[in-house]
Amino acid sequence: MYDHLTLLSGRAHPQLAGEIAEYLGVRLASVELSNFPDGEISLKLNQNVRGRDVFILQPTSPPVNDNLMELLILMDACRRASAERITAVIPYFGYARQDRKDSGRVPITSKLVANLINEAGADRVLAMDLHAAQIQGFFDTPVDHLYAAPILDRYFRSLNIPDKDLVVVSPDEGSIKRTLQHNNNIGGTLAIVDKRRKNALETQQANIIGGPIDGKVALLFDDMISTAGSIVGAVNVVKEQGAREIYVSASHAVFCGPAIKLLSEAPIKEIVVTNSLPIPDQDKLSNLRTISIAPLLGEAIRRIHRNESVSHLFD
């Protein structure tokens, strides 16, 4: 079935790669990865990839620079070993926040990283929940952009929360489109937290638009939880408005800086995330639930390898 498919992984998330390999019924390719004393990455492929359809799994998660460089080196090695096609499977795409020039003398890092991935040898890219959809256009190769929403929504529907008790909340104005999709799939009413940015590191949540919130079960969705300042600020506003229970969900659990402290102290019943990037043991909160995206990525890989449509996976 997969005579010409090769799946290999960097060191960013070997557990997810193993789950995808199990879903596909293939073995992960053997790769030797280590570091020279000065920190440079050393790599050797231990099997032939000539003429193969190669899929390289590597989220560019923290430490983002190390994992990004490792991805580039993996692709370069496969290209020089005469792989027929190379697909970069990037469940979490770092450097995505700076996707436009919103002031003078700033870079567009997401375009820069897309250029690096193209130059290193990627023939196509498989990503999930990019920070901004337009990043797909930064690549000069085809991009299959998957969404975790159907998986997350399926979990929340399984909780059987009565529609009359449910409110789906956007943590800020920029997440309204995403929240509307969740609202359509799950039900309930819609509310928006009015967020004002004080500076590059701080935001202030002010009011609730829509609702009502009082006495309801609130679901808050975001694409990622990084420092958790914004999402916890939104949670506190929703709690002040009288929410009975609060669930928080995100595709990417980056969890850096004060995130764990803020989340552990917030009035959140459950935090639901995917395993798009690894979560260290010290960051696994008692109310954290992780849902695997291995079947989603595995099915996409299977369809790409067979040159079949993956469009139904976008829904």
- Annotated binding-site members for D-ribose 5-phosphate: 197, 222
Angstrom distance (rounded) from CA 269 to CA 136: 35
- Annotated binding-site members for Mg(2+): 131, 172
Record the tokens describing residue 306, joined without a space.
Answer: 């067979």
Does 63 sit behind a cis peptide bond, omega within 30 degrees of 0 on the bond before it? yes
Angstrom distance (rounded) from CA 215 to CA 193: 17
Exposure of 102 in the CB half-sphere (CA atoms within 13 A): 6
Angstrom distance (rounded) from CA 82 to CA 125: 18
- Annotated binding-site members: 38-40, 97-98, 131, 172, 197, 222
Record the tokens describing residue 30, joined without a space.
Answer: 């053997």
Residue 287: C-alpha distances to residues 230, 272, 313 (Å): 19, 9, 28
Integer Rg of the chain from CA: 20
Question: H/E element holding 35?
Answer: strand 31-35
Angle between helices 64-80 and 109-120 (to 10 degrees): 30
The catalytic residues are 195
- Annotated binding-site members for ATP: 38-40, 97-98
Residue 219 · residue 249 · CB < 8 Å: yes
